[in-house]
Structure 1
Amino acid sequence: MAISKGDKVTWNTPQGTTEGTAVEKKTSEFQHDNQKFKASDDEPYWIVESSKSGSKAAHKESTLDEA
Structure 2
Amino acid sequence: MAEKKLRKGEEVTWSSHGQTVHGEVVEKITEDTRAATRQVRASEDDPQYRVRSDKTGKDAVHKPSALRTPKK
Q: TM-score, normalised by structure 1?
A: 0.88
Does 2:61 match 1:54?
Answer: no
Instruction: Could you tell me which runs of 5 or more consecutive residues in structure 2 were left unpaired when the two chains were aligned.
Output: none
Q: TM-score, normalised by structure 2?
A: 0.83
Which structure carries more strand by proportion?
A: 1
Quick one: which of 31, 34, 39 aligns to 1:28?
A: 31
Does 2:8 match 1:5?
Answer: yes
Partner SS state of residue 62, structure 1: helix
Distance of 2:54 and 2:46 partners within structure 1: 24
Identity value in percent: 36
Moved segments of 4+, more than 6 Å: none
AA in 2 matched with 1:52: K
Instruction: Could you tell me which runs of 5 or more consecutive residues in structure 1 were left unpaired when the two chains were aligned.
Output: none
Partner of 1:40: 43
Partner of 1:66: 69
Which deviations, in whole Å up to 9, do the C-alpha atoms of 1:6-56 show, x marking residues without a partner?
1000101113111100011100101021x2111112221111110110111
- Say how many residue pairs are matched: 66
